[in-house]
Amino acid sequence: MYRLIESTCDADAATDCAEWLLALLETRRWDQQRISFFVSGGKSPAAVFDLLAATDFPWQNVDLFLVDERWAPDHPQDQNATLVQNHLLTQQGAAAHFYPLLLDTDFTQNL
């Protein structure tokens, strides 16, 4: 399910994307008890995550996964999990169940 969203500025693009994703999540909410929500990392989705986290969606029913991760043992602030924790797992979004790809800060254990 794809949709081209054209916006005139970054703020409008973030709002349009957040509204579209929320509508998809709402549809799935009525179809099943739990929702699996897979997100990408990088800095681009941060504004969208901030908007989603502020909604009153029932995040406690969401299992949140990353589709990719950055191998950044010396710079954890650059990891995608950190982005998700700082932008989506805040406010109401903090109720979601997050399953990061890297489970241990000893990166040799994740090989």
pLDDT tens, residue by residue, 10-47: 999 999 999 999 999 998 887 778 999 999 987 889 99
pLDDT for residue 32: 75
Q: Is 105 a residue whose pLDDT tops 70?
A: no
**Whole-prediction pTM:** 0.84
The token duo for 45 is 């989705």
- In tens, the pLDDT along 61-99 reads 999 999 988 776 666 777 888 899 999 999 999 999 999
Q: What's the residue count for the chain?
A: 111
**What's phi and psi for 74, nearest 5 deg?**
-90, -10
Going edge to edge, which strands form the sheet with 62-66?
Answer: 35-39, 62-66, 97-99
The token duo for 102 is 């890297």
Q: How far apart are CA 37 and CA 39, in angstroms?
A: 6
